[in-house]
Amino acid sequence: MDLYQLNDQSCDAVLEQSALPVHLLSCPDQIRYLVTYEDRILSVQDSRNEQETIWHLYQQSGQLILEWGDLCSEQFEVTELLAAVEAAFAIFPHQKKVYLSVPIQQSAELFDSGVLVKADDGRYVVYVEFFWQQSRIWHTSPRSQAYPIYTVFSQGRRHPLRPPKPEGTVYQRYITWLGRTLSFRTVDADADLKCFNRWMNDPVVAEFWQETGDFSKHRTYLEGIQADPHVINLISCLDDEPFGYFEIYWAKEDRIAPYYDVDDFDRGWHVLIGEPHLRGKPFVTAWLPSISHYLFLDDDRTQRVVIEPRADNDKMIRNLARCGYAQLKEFDFPHKRAMLGMLLRERFFAEQLWVPRNTISPHSVSLS
């Protein structure tokens, strides 16, 4: 496949060269839509009934415009609009906003949630920075409101009581440059034990995790994580193919807390990628921003995400830097010399860090 610098000009050039349509998936409110883009026409098909709505997506005077295409009808679902907007920002990934020329019947909901803003000239506009904070599009079970704050103590640390742990799939996102859906789901200790054991005994993983062992050891390990209220363990999948393991944690209760000025809602994470054929840059640029995105969506009060890889893990530290993590300092845990990395919520959304800086174009999957 050819490599392209990911920007609107190169995307336009690829579209002009390719006779094939661009296919995307979007799942707002867990409703699956197949979105197809060709010749400035965006079709959004509902997987439940195969009904299709037509939109026009084009650039005019440097502005990105999404226009309702069915002149015979003024009705469409909010989820159809969300799917069309997600596709617009995926196809033109460096646009900061898209102007809507659509009949808005559900304006209160859309304005109240921040999806829509009314511009000074009276037009409706969707800002990418607002849109990517809409948990209903990628977070599969968002809470209707923030979990109440109730202060508790555990292991000598004062912190907010955490919400119950989720179950099942918690996040999903269609990755345009892979043509596959990335998802995170909670660990099932019985179903995932064999896979987890194989990954932990992989020499590449063992070098950093140092948790080799038999099934009994790893079952005890998983059960310990699941019993810990401040940690959630997840399996990452591409089109339901498991390939990695994550532990996400509340930093206030974690071992990292004494090493920086921790906030009540800071989150952190650990990762291993167990499948060798799913390692490498195209995959890192999918899962690394996505785990950050999930943690920011999971609680709007989370302003910082932290990570503490081993200080000599140069590849991981480079990947983190490319995805917006600042390297704050090296410090000593009892078991390792670590690098403290931190990603700010404001930076993630303002700089659109879910978009790789230099990777395979979302349309190059149709080229050879």
Q: Which residues of 307-329 are buried (b: 16+ CB within 10 A; e: fewer)?
A: bbbbbebeebbebbebbbbeeee
User: Mind listing the pLDDT tens digit for each residue in 293-327?
Assistant: 999 999 999 999 999 999 999 999 999 999 999 99
Residue 308 · residue 333 · CB < 8 Å:
yes
| Residue 367 pLDDT class (50, 70, 90 cuts) | very low
Which of the following is catalytic: 38, 74, 308, 351?
A: 308
Range 212-233 average pLDDT? 97
pLDDT above 50 (res 244): yes
Residue 293 has what pLDDT?
Answer: 98
Rounded Cα distance, 184 and 337, in Å: 29
Query: Which among 127, 94, 102 has a CA at the least distance from the CA of 10?
Result: 94
The Cα-based distances of 91 to 13, 20, 88, 254 in angstroms read 12, 14, 5, 39
Q: What 8-state DSSP symbol labels residue 363? A: T
Structure tokens at 38: 């060709």
Structure tokens at 333: 């845990």
Residue 345 has what pLDDT?
Answer: 98
Rounded Cα distance, 344 and 325, in Å: 8
Other beta carbons within 10 angstroms of residue 84's beta carbon come to 28
Structure tokens at 97: 């906003």
Q: Residue 316 is which amino acid?
A: M
The string of DSSP codes covering 290-304 is HHHHHHHHH-TT--E
Residue 365 has what pLDDT?
Answer: 30
Rounded Cα distance, 35 and 27, in Å: 11
SS3 call for 136: helix
Rounded Cα distance, 357 and 326, in Å: 16
| Residue 20 pLDDT class (50, 70, 90 cuts) | low
Continuous segment of H or E residues that includes residue 9: helix 8-17
Structure tokens at 336: 């390792």
Structure tokens at 110: 């859309």
The proportion of the chain whose per-residue pLDDT surpasses 90, expressed as a percent, equals 79
Verify whether residue 50 is a known catalytic residue: no
Range of weakest confidence among 6-10, 69-73, 95-99, 280-284: 6-10
Residue 340 · residue 306 · CB < 8 Å:
yes
Average pLDDT, rounded, for the chain: 89
Residue 192 · residue 235 · CB < 8 Å:
yes
SS3 call for 151: strand
Instruction: Please tell me the CATH code under which domain 8-132 is placed.
Output: 3.40.630
Residue 73 has what pLDDT?
Answer: 64
User: Mind listing the pLDDT tens digit for each residue in 334-345?
Assistant: 889 999 999 999
User: Mind listing the pLDDT tens digit for each residue in 247-287?
Assistant: 999 999 999 999 999 999 999 999 999 999 999 999 999 99
SS3 call for 64: strand
pLDDT above 90 (res 17): no
Residue 365 · residue 16 · CB < 8 Å:
no
Continuous segment of H or E residues that includes residue 289: helix 281-298
- State the span(s) of the chain assigned CATH 3.40.630.30: 143-350
Residue 130 · residue 114 · CB < 8 Å:
yes
Beta-carbon contacts of residue 284 (< 8 Å; ≥ 6 apart) = 319
Query: Class of 143-350 per CATH?
Result: alpha beta
Rounded Cα distance, 287 and 309, in Å: 16
pLDDT above 70 (res 9): no
Residue 187 has what pLDDT?
Answer: 98
Residue 114 has what pLDDT?
Answer: 92
| Residue 106 pLDDT class (50, 70, 90 cuts) | low
| Residue 104 pLDDT class (50, 70, 90 cuts) | confident
Residue 362 has what pLDDT?
Answer: 39
